[in-house]
Amino acid sequence: MNRPGLSFSPKGLYTDRNKQRSIELRNVMFEKFKRHITLLLEQKKSRQVPARKGYLNPRALYRHRFSDNVFQKRISHHSSDTTIVFLIDGSGSMDSRVSTPVGDVRAIEMCGAVASAFAKANKQVLKNRIPIEVFIKSAPTVSSPELTGTNNGSLVTLSRVFSSSSKQQNYDKLCSINCMSPIVTSHGSIDGSYTSEYAVLPALSKWIKKNVKTKKCIVFNLTDGESYCSLGANNYQFRNQDTKALRLKYLRGLPNVTLMLQNGYSHADSAQLQDIYGENMILASEDFSGALFKAFAGFLD
């Protein structure tokens, strides 16, 4: 819908609604993520292992008659040069409630809690060793040439809401993110959002190429699925098959994992969802933290 008097504003991206519940959930997830990160670090520590060549191990000489492993060598895992990019669905359907260890919360609040827990664990356990960036993807219901200076019609937006490289690393603020678009009217009303999903990947890909300096980059997508938005002056109907096509084009060779937040999905839906989002798709209706870090460990190796 073309409407005059529109402008970009971060006003719709945040709300204090249920912030304390979101922070409570963040703290629960932080403890889980902290344990997983600690175990991941332990696995990557340098250690001595038996070997058939290397430095002679005097303590193993008694085994020389029945084993050639009387030497030892050190295995070192270099710290991973990796950036994690969170891509959070900011559509109106993320206002629906999902079950969590602290009770039912809005899906958008769970996303904020997950991103905040990662950021907190990264800062307190890893001393910000892993660069973290958090974006909210939106598909405003209205458009105007005043927003972009063109007559290209409906658009999607990508809003950066957290960066570990910022001096003000306020990960608590991630517990306040909201499922509205960053568009306001001349009267101060906030516009809603359809589900853009991977329609934002062309813009994200350009941002990554320009700004990410690490050797690796992991895209962590948090969503309730079901792509649904209009694009361009002719209102192209962007749907799930388009999300799949853009994933194959822009995320091919780029490690990525999707956390599916809608409680209504079951394991029977996994095959269809993985066809859209890729094999690293995890349902949040189960304890996903172990599976999530298992995927991350594979990416970091």
Taking the C-alpha atoms of residue 11 and residue 188, their distance in angstroms, rounded to an integer, is 9
Identify the sign of the CA torsion 23, 29, 35, 41.
Answer: negative
Taking the C-alpha atoms of residue 63 and residue 265, their distance in angstroms, rounded to an integer, is 56
* Residue 78 pLDDT exceeds 50: no
User: Tokens 């206002």, residue?
Assistant: 95
Pick the range with the lowest mean pLDDT from 58-67, 205-214, 227-236, 290-299: 58-67
More confident call, 285 vs 260: 260
Taking the C-alpha atoms of residue 197 and residue 138, their distance in angstroms, rounded to an integer, is 8
Mean pLDDT across the stretch 241-267?
Answer: 89
What distances in angstroms separate CA 284 from CA 96, 152, 197, 221, 259, one per listed residue? 14, 37, 17, 12, 6
Which residues, listed in sequence order, are joined to residue 87 by a DSSP beta bridge?
A: 135, 221
Name the pLDDT band for 5 (thresholds 50, 70, 90): confident
Q: What's the CA angle centered on 16, arms 191 and 98, to 5 degrees?
A: 80
User: Tokens 């079951």, residue?
Assistant: 266
What distances in angstroms separate CA 242 from CA 92, 94, 197, 224, 283, one per listed residue? 20, 20, 9, 16, 21
pLDDT digits (tens, 9 = 90+) for 140-154: 999 999 888 888 999
Residues making up the chain, counted from first to last: 301
Inter-axis angle of helices 201-211 and 240-250, to 10 degrees? Answer: 20
* Residue 75 pLDDT exceeds 60: no
pLDDT digits (tens, 9 = 90+) for 235-249: 999 999 999 999 999
Q: Which of 24-38, 40-54, 177-191 has the highest mean pLDDT?
A: 177-191
* Residue 27 pLDDT exceeds 90: yes
Identify the structural domains of the chain with CATH numbers, from first to last: 7-42+79-300 (3.40.50.410), 46-75 (no CATH)
Taking the C-alpha atoms of residue 245 and residue 249, their distance in angstroms, rounded to an integer, is 6
* Residue 55 pLDDT exceeds 70: no
CA 37 to mean position of chain CA atoms: 16
Taking the whole predicted model, whether its pTM rises above 0.75 is answered as yes
| Residue 153 confidence (pLDDT) | 92
Quick one: tokens of 39?
């175990």
